[in-house]
Amino acid sequence: MIQLSFGFGALEAEFWRLLFVMTRVGAAMVAAPLFGMGGVPPQLRVIAAGAVAVLICAWTPVQAPPALLSLAGMVMVAGEVLVGLSLGFVLQMAFTAPVIAAELIGGSMGMSMATSVDPNSGAQSPALGHYFSVVVTLIFLALGGHLQWLALVVESYRVFPPGETWLGAERFAEIAGFAATMFATAVAIALPVSLVLLVVQVITGVLSRSAPALNLFALGLPAGVLAGIAALIVSAPILTDQVTELSATAIGATARLLER
């Protein structure tokens, strides 16, 4: 198969070029947390990918393959999708760390049954997960992380021009290494509240053994919820610092994927 031609000459060539550039940008936005969440209409994603692709076409000399619908053209498109998904997946993992921390805290507080649909992933998540998701989203946007990430997507065309988009094993190892950072950050976020809840549970257990007439469930569940909320309020400044550091680490990990 060869490139389709509708007889519009240079205008048609620019259209295929724009469509080819939108492949990497669209894949990155689908994998990214802010642009790829379930609440974002597909039409808006296409418009956003097209707007960024127009700027990339104006700023970079990237060209579409001469036969986009041939086997070589499809391989180049697959490489574009691979790079875009890698850039968005790193950012997605950064937004997953607070949700994992919410799972740990919610289980300790006894609020595991309070679940709702996460708008980012469409899966069930604890109620605290929405609170952490809002915090990390606001901080990420306030720091201009979305602009830095889009700048890295544009920069990827210089580092990985079309036809040289297959990532090596060292870059996949970099993504796996950031996953370890994500889990460590999730534990660090949940640790202060979990320690407070552990103390409350120990005290509740001692009281239940000292006075067996006390109803453990009637006493322990409200105490755990109140102690957890108080610990969340007290540890809010620590959470802000950790999320800020996590956002910077995510942008840094994305930038390291583009290093030669």
pLDDT in tens, 76-126: 888 888 888 888 888 888 888 888 888 888 777 766 665 665 555 556 666
Q: pLDDT category, 1, cuts 50, 70, 90? A: very low
* Cα separations in angstroms, 77 against 8, 36, 65, 67: 23, 20, 9, 11
Q: How far apart are CA 219 and CA 205, in angstroms?
A: 10
Rounded to 5°, the CA angle 249-149-258 comes to 75
CB 110 within 8 A of CB 197: no
Task: Give Cβ neighbours of residue 101 (< 8 Å, ≥ 6 apart).
Answer: 132, 185, 186, 187, 189, 190
The mean pLDDT of 167-184, rounded to a whole number, is 79
Q: Which of 1-5, 19-23, 144-148 has the lowest mean pLDDT?
A: 1-5
Q: What is the mean pLDDT of the chain?
A: 79
3-state secondary structure of 39: coil
The answer on pLDDT for 260 being more than 80 is no
Residue range 221-238: average pLDDT? 82
Extended strands (E) in the chain = 115-117, 124-126
Q: How many other C-beta atoms are found inside a 10 Å radius of the C-beta of residue 34?
A: 18
Q: Above 80 in pLDDT, residue 46?
A: yes
Q: Which tokens sit at 42?
A: 């597909």
pTM: 0.77
| CB-CB contact of 56 with 157 (8 Å) | yes
In percent, the amount of the chain with pLDDT more than 70 equals 82
Highest mean pLDDT among 46-60, 67-81, 220-234: 46-60
Reply yes or no on whether the pLDDT at 196 is more than 70: yes
Q: What is the mean pLDDT of residues 231-258?
A: 85
Q: What is the pLDDT of residues 114-170, one digit of tens each?
A: 566 555 555 666 677 778 888 888 888 888 888 888 888 888 888 888 777 667 677
Looking at residues 20-29, what average pLDDT do you find? 87
Average pLDDT of span 212-241: 78
Residue closest to 254 by CA, chosen among 162, 146, 166: 146
